[in-house]
Structures are given as structure tokens and as C-alpha cells.
Amino acid sequence: MISAWKLKRETKRVAAQLSAIPLLIYEPFAQKLYDRNFEKNIKLYQGIRNLGKQVAVFLIYQPRGLADSIYLTVDHLVASGFEVVIVSNCPLASADLEKLYLRTALVVERPNFGYDFGGYRDAVWLLRRQGVSVSQMLFLNDSVWFPVFEKSSMLTEMANSRADYVGTQAFGRVSSDGRFDGFFGSYCFLIKQPLLQRSSFVEYWEKYRMSSSKEIVLRRGERSFSKKMLGDSAHSNAWYSHERFANVIEGLDPRETAEAVADLIVWDKELNAKKSQLLSAAKQDGEWLNEGKRLIINLAQTKNFIGSSPLVSINKLRFPMIKKNNEMLYRLARKKIVEAIDLGRVVGLHPVVERELRQSVVA
């Protein structure tokens, strides 16, 4: 029998797909009107900083005012060598604009048409119209807390890597012949020259059709864009790949493995039964160790490892982000992290992130 939460999730998914049908007819006309009045639809605020060769497009949607973690992210982007273009999908308060003025090169206010990919597109359009030439362009949205640690070298490492398309995470599987059949997550990725000048990148944004359906944005935005970049990049890399996570798990000692199994967030009946079986085992020998690691890795193939194994992701993988997503998996992951902080099992989180994380768990 299907569980209540799965039924609710599938019902919402089907409802979202049905509601998108009228949008397929209406939105092409809405976009033509939007683009015709492009200058009227957006507001530009010049910041104190100048655009350089490394630009970060930071998409935010903060209708209740900017959280302190937004400024933390902006400051980290600048410290990592990027000049920041804020794209806000809602109006900003004057106090927030004043703070952003001191930290950014450009702030763009736009309607929330097209979600994150709509904002990404408008930023690319604006930079091209202004004749800005960049060597690297980072795309990031506020669906994550970042960085969660006092210090993070991820962006510097990504910028210095030889890859011209760098994602934070990859989703999908590698086939038997070694081909990756998947995509890079759109919440944080980096595009470099010469890929920035290739037709696959330029024409994608010129022809991109915006939508206010999340299902369509995932398909037409995140997945389609990533597959085009993967197909045309000279070298691509997902910084925190499933393979990297699996290597961390393989390196755990028996005590760490037992903790990782106990900390797993599972709701698949079969996998949960396997977890219970392992935890109740009388002896944790070599076979137990292999089964425990296999369970953790297999679960991470169907559920994002930062959700299914949040403590390993933070403490061992040193993944520098925490998802704000309201899916049950990530809500339970955040709860697990807060509990671990109180037990002294997670240390070093930035105070701003910890405070907002606690607030989200209470809420």
C-alpha cells in the first residue's frame, strides 16, 4: 500500500503537470510581451563595485526581506574572486538595497516570471547588452545556505579547475559504457571560456522559453541546459559527485559506519527494514561493515546524499551547503543536523547559518 506522504507527493506532482497545460499556450505570448517591455519590467541599481572577469549571478527570492545569510553568501562570493550581480525576483527594501550597494556591482529587480532560470536568462541578456566580457560566470540561487562553514574553498577550487563546466552536484547514473546520463544541479554551477562563447550557451539563452511552472522549468531549464553544456564542454566536472561521496563512505571505520547507518534518513520500507536489521545485529563484523556501507551508498543513489546522509555530508565530505527545500527529506535532514549540533557532533557551522537553520526547524 502506498504511504500517505508518497500519495500526497504524487498528487501534487500530477496537479502541477495538469496546471502547466494552459501555461504552454499562454506563456509564449506573455514572454513576447515581457521581452518587448524588457526595460520597463526590470529595475537596475549600480553597486559600488565594478564588473570583472569573474562574475557571479546570484538569484534571490526574499519577499519578507533579505536574511542575514544572503549577505554572508554575497561576501563569500566577493572574497572568492567574483563580482556579484544580484537578480531579485521580487522588490527589495531600500535598507537592503543600501547594504547590497556596498557589496555588489549590479542589482536587478524583476518579476518572478520563470523562477531561477528566468532570472538567470535576464542576467545573461543584460550583461551581453552592456558588452560585458567575462572569463567565468557562476550561477547560484538562494535555495541553499552557503557557505555553512566559516571557510570554504569550493568556489576557488572550481574556478582554478581545468573544467569549463563545473557543477556542485550531478544527478543521474553512469551507464555500463561509462557515459553519464544525467545533469548538474542548477542551484550552483560555473561556466568558463570558451564555453561561454559557444553557440550552445549563447543560443540557449537567446531562445529560452520562460515558464512559471516548476515542472517545466526543471525540464526546460535545469535538465535541458545541463545536457547541452555537458555535450559541448571540453571538460566537465561535478565537484561533489556520487563517486566522491561513495569514496568517503568506503573510508569510514567501523564506528563511523555504525554512526552513519544510525543517522540515515530513510522511508523506503525495504531500505528502512535493512537499516533496522543492521542496527539490531548482534555482531558488527566485516560482512556487517560491507552491508552498512552498501546501504548508505545505495540510498544515496535514489535520494540526494545531502538529504539521506546529512551528517556524513557535513562532517566527512565537508559539503559547504545545506538545502532549504521543504521536501520531507530535507526537513528531516535539517532537524538531524540541529540535533547533532546540540550533541556536539557537528561543529564549525557559521553562526548566521546555525541561527537560521534552527529557526527553520522550529518553523
pLDDT number for residue 221: 94
- Half-sphere exposure (Cβ direction) of 229: Cα atoms closer than 13 Å: 33
Does residue 184 fall inside a structural domain? yes
Does residue 159 fall inside a structural domain? yes
Q: Which of 188, 204, 238 is the last residue of a domain?
A: 238
Are residue 209 and residue 286 in the same domain, yes or no? Answer: no
Are residue 77 and residue 187 in the same domain, yes or no? Answer: yes
Beta bridge partner(s), residue 191 = 137, 165
Are residue 273 and residue 333 in the same domain, yes or no? Answer: yes
Give CA torsion, residues 299, 303, 304, 305, to 10 deg.
Answer: -20
In order, the DSSP letters of 77-109 are: HHHTT-EEEEEESS---HHHHHHHHTT-SEEEE
Are residue 212 and residue 249 in the same domain, yes or no? Answer: no
Are residue 211 and residue 265 in the same domain, yes or no? Answer: no
What b-and-e string marks burial along 302-317, b requiring 16 or more CB atoms within 10 Å of the CB?
ebbbbbbbbbbbbbbb
Are residue 336 and residue 274 in the same domain, yes or no? Answer: yes
Question: Does position 258 have pLDDT exceeding 70, yes or no?
Answer: yes
Are residue 122 and residue 186 in the same domain, yes or no? Answer: yes
Are residue 84 and residue 220 in the same domain, yes or no? Answer: yes
Give CA torsion, residues 210, 216, 222, 225, to 10 deg.
Answer: -60
Question: What is the C-alpha to C-alpha distance for residues 161 and 155, in angstroms, rounded to an integer?
Answer: 10
pLDDT number for residue 14: 47
Are residue 65 and residue 168 in the same domain, yes or no? Answer: yes
Are residue 216 and residue 288 in the same domain, yes or no? Answer: no
Does residue 3 fall inside a structural domain? no
Q: Which of 184, 216, 238 is the last residue of a domain?
A: 238
Q: Which of 179, 190, 202, 212 is nearest to 111 (CA)?
A: 212
pLDDT number for residue 9: 55
Question: What is the C-alpha to C-alpha distance for residues 296 and 288, in angstroms, rounded to an integer?
Answer: 12
Place of cell 551547503: 321
Are residue 77 and residue 200 in the same domain, yes or no? Answer: yes
Domain range for 345: 242-362
Does residue 4 fall inside a structural domain? no
Residue 159: partners with Cβ closer than 8 Å, 6 or more residues away: 54, 80, 81, 136, 190
Q: What is the pLDDT of residues 302-355, one digit of tens each?
A: 889 999 999 999 999 999 999 999 999 999 999 999 999 999 999 999 999 999
Which helix (H) or strand (E) segment is 188 a member of? strand 188-192
Q: What is the pLDDT of residues 174-200, one digit of tens each?
A: 655 556 778 999 999 999 999 999 999
Q: Which of 207, 238, 269 is the last residue of a domain?
A: 238
Place of cell 495538469: 18
Tell me the residue type at 350. H
Looking up residue 139, the CATH number of its domain turns out to be 3.90.550
Question: What is the C-alpha to C-alpha distance for residues 232 and 234, in angstroms, rounded to an integer?
Answer: 7
Residue 144 DSSP SS3: strand
Does residue 1 fall inside a structural domain? no
Q: What nine digits make up the cell of 307? A: 538529504
CB of 234 closer than 8 Å to CB of 201: no
Mean pLDDT of the chain: 91
Does residue 292 fall inside a structural domain? yes
Are residue 220 and residue 295 in the same domain, yes or no? Answer: no
pLDDT number for residue 176: 55
Tell me the residue type at 71. Y
Confidence of residue 282 (pLDDT cuts 50, 70, 90): confident
Question: Does position 10 have pLDDT exceeding 60, yes or no?
Answer: no
Total of domains in the chain: 2
The beta-strand segments (E) located in 91-160 are 106-109, 136-141, 144-145
Does residue 2 fall inside a structural domain? no
Does residue 57 fall inside a structural domain? yes
Please give the model's pTM, rounded to 2 decimal places.
Answer: 0.91
